[in-house]
Amino acid sequence: MKKPYDVLFDGVFSKIDPEKAHEQAFAAIRAGRPVLSCWSRTAKPQPVQALGLTFPNVLGLAAGFDKNAVGIDALAGLGFGHIEIGTVTGEAQPGNPKPRLFRLLEDRAVINRMGFNNDGAEVVGRRLAERAARRRGKNGPIVGVNIGKTKVVPDDDITAVIADHEKSVDHLAPYADYLVVNVSSPNTPGLRNLQAVEKLTPLLEAVRKRADLVVTDRRVPLLVKIAPDLADDDVLAVADMAKAIGLDGIIATNTTISRDGLATDPAKVSTIGAGGLSGQPLTDRALDVMRMLKARVGDDLVLIGVGGITTAADAVARLDAGATLIQGYTAFIYEGPLWPRKILRAVSRRR
């Protein structure tokens, strides 16, 4: 027997353009914030100590859902212990032409080529400042801020890339519980070139230095988000670099450009074209990358697992592989608003 959300998704949401469905669902979540806030107080969270912070629980919402920091507290009301906003770029940008978001229903997956559409660091920073003023003294979710390169900045001009990221740090770091540098989206031309250690090292060092200049009353933890499509040797090279320069953690993984093993008709996949694939097809590779990272860094870095975490078993497997925290996004779309609590119940039984 289908769950109520499955009936709603199959009968309504799956027939609406995916980007419009996202906008409508997110608007409904924000409108329901007062009810969600009361609901969240009935939960029995298991806090997690990581990055020098106390996370209300182990599960977060990955970057990409709330790009512009407009629904942080409403989303937390669904059970997420941390919300990672963004990806935010130094300059506002509209992203790629529509359509740019596609469902693969047979695979419980999504392809997106959004292209870092967002309001820009200055506007998002003001929004975060207003939220901080409203919530002074109140408890809430941990807020991560995911930053990336503005599309028009050439990836081969590392000086310009650094300046672009520094602008984001200036506006956003004061309101971030942690910062993430995203060099792993496939939807900004040349972005993944920045995953090469010789380019990534000076970028991350510059972001670290800038964050320390901008925020003087605390140390803002800094992480990097990597792609599942990196070769194993490159994954290990990033891990070694992260340890060497004193990074706080790694988020593994972003979406994949692979289309291997999909159940969806290849003709449909070909028609959709380019973009990052997320959801269940990513599970095995993201798990493998987590195991590699854990074996390499041990307890020296915080590892956040994301990519293909759909079931309770997926969540437990990622934690057993070495993740301190986990995140979801695509499963939230397919499983609905009760999904976070389902995952957290399973994790609580594990512990």
The reported pTM is: 0.95
Confidence of residue 34 (pLDDT cuts 50, 70, 90): low
Instruction: Tell me what the mean pLDDT of segment 133-159 comes to.
Output: 94
Average pLDDT of the residues in 2-17: 82
Is 255 labelled as part of a ligand binding site? Answer: yes
For residue 271, is the peptide bond before it cis, meaning its omega torsion is within 30 degrees of 0? Answer: no
Determine if residue 57 is labeled as part of a ligand binding site.
Answer: no
Residue 114 annotated as part of some ligand binding site: yes
Residue 253 marked ligand-binding: yes
> Which residue among the candidates 40, 168, 184, 185 is catalytic per the annotation?
185
- Across residues 316-335, what is the average pLDDT? 97
State the pLDDT at residue 189. 86
* Average pLDDT value over all residues in the chain: 94
Q: Is the pLDDT of residue 42 over 60?
A: no
Q: Is 5 labeled as ligand-binding?
A: no
Q: Is the peptide bond before 281 cis (omega within 30 degrees of 0)?
A: no
Rounded average pLDDT over 272-287:
98
* % of the chain residues with pLDDT over 70: 96
Kindly report, residue by residue over 211-236, the tens digit of the pLDDT: 999 999 999 999 999 999 999 999 99
Q: Is the dihedral of CA 69, 6, 288, 302 positive or negative?
A: positive
**pLDDT at 7 (0 to 100):** 77
- The ranges assigned to domains in the chain are 4-350
Q: Which is nearest to 144 in space by CA: 201, 57, 220, 218?
A: 220
- What does the pLDDT read at residue 10? 81
pLDDT at 291: 98
* Domain 4-350 in this protein, CATH class: alpha beta
Q: Respond yes or no: is residue 168 known to be catalytic.
A: no
pLDDT tens-place string over residues 48-82: 999 999 999 999 999 999 999 999 999 999 999 99
For residue 38, is pLDDT > 70? no
What are the b/e assignments for 200-229, b being 16+ CB within 10 Å?
A: beebbebbbebbeeebeeeebbbbbbbbbb
Q: Is 146 annotated as a binding residue?
A: yes
Find out whether 220 and 180 touch, Cβ atoms under 8 Å: no
44 pLDDT above the threshold of 90: no
pLDDT at position 43 is: 56
* Residue 5 binned pLDDT confidence (cut-offs 50, 70, 90): confident
CA dist list (Å): 208 to 143, 170, 196, 212, 301? 18, 12, 18, 6, 15
- 209 vs 192, higher pLDDT: 209
Q: Looking at the predicted structure, is the pLDDT value of residue 207 above 90?
A: yes
Indicate if the pLDDT at residue 168 is higher than 90: yes
- Is 68 marked as binding a ligand? no
Quick one: pLDDT band at residue 269, thresholds 50, 70, 90?
very high
- The rounded distance, in Å, linking the Cα atoms of 77 and 34 is 9
Q: Does 55 appear as a known binding residue?
A: no
